[in-house]
Amino acid sequence: MRLRLPEERPTEPPTGYKIAHPMLFQDGTRAGFTGVSLGGALPYGVLADASCVYGLRHRAPSRRCDCGFHCVHDRTTAEALLCTAEHRTAVLLEVTVLGRYIRFERGFRYARQRVRTATVGPCVCGTAAAALADAGWGRPGWRALAPSCAGCLRGRTSVSLAGFARLAAEGLRVVAGKGVSVGTTDPVPADDLGVPELAAEAALLQARLDWFQAQLARLGEHGPGGGERQG
């Protein structure tokens, strides 16, 4: 006789937590995430369906496979994963578990998800992040992003936290490490922005201006033709 696990029919979709790397499409028109382990080669959007990473034709999640989205029940458990060296630049996601799922002791493996909130940690220098900047690696067609303060951008491809939320769409909120919400689904009218949002945008613009001024000063030292000016 084969034992079957009990079926659950919750009145509301379960909530889970996971970590992922924020991603920016090569032309800058879309944003999403990629996982840190199984399936990490396949970036996904805010609202996404899982498929078998091994190319098998069964529906995810299958009991005889380890495919499907993964998350844990407890936020603290997910946050602990951010302490490891390879995950320091990842972000914490709060997700809604949709569709078929399999419950485990620590979390779910499931068919469909909606990312509700992405919490961005500090820059590598320890300062609160004002943007997500090119992390120096990626997937075909996608650039991986990492938290960055205004002072550490240094001309890298970047997007503000509010800009990332707009590109990702589907109701995503992007939250800075201290819990200040700086993202909404649609472009935010200037009149609706608060002090933290305006300060982050101003810092990002100032950092880019400082970088351009430094480049102009460097070029000026070499003269208009590229050669070094003689005194």
225 located within any domain? no
9 located within any domain? no
- Please, which pLDDT band fits residue 91 given cuts at 50, 70 and 90? very high
40 located within any domain? yes
pTM, entire model: 0.75
Closest CA to 116 of 103, 104, 98: 98
Residue type, 32: G
- Burial (Cβ within 10 Å: 0-12, 13-18, ≥19) of residue 6: exposed
229 located within any domain? no
3 located within any domain? no
Instruction: Indicate the number of domains in the chain.
Output: 1
**pLDDT tens for each residue of 171-230:** 999 998 853 333 433 444 445 555 556 666 676 677 667 666 777 777 776 665 555 555
Q: What's the confidence (pLDDT) of residue 160? A: 94
- Please name the helix (run of DSSP H) or strand (run of DSSP E) that holds residue 37, with its range, or none: none
More confident residue, 10 or 94: 94
2 located within any domain? no
Over residues 66-81, the mean pLDDT reads 94
Closest CA to 159 of 169, 147, 171: 147
User: What value does the mean pLDDT of the chain take?
Assistant: 84
DSSP letters spanning 203-230 = HHHHHHHHHHHHHHHHHHHT-TTSSPPP
More confident residue, 36 or 195: 36
228 located within any domain? no
Q: Which two three-digit tokens encode residue 104?
A: 């485990």
> How far apart, in whole angstroms, are the C-alpha atoms of residue 155 and residue 39?
31
226 located within any domain? no
**pLDDT tens for each residue of 107-132:** 999 999 999 999 999 999 888 999 99
Domain that holds residue 130: 15-217
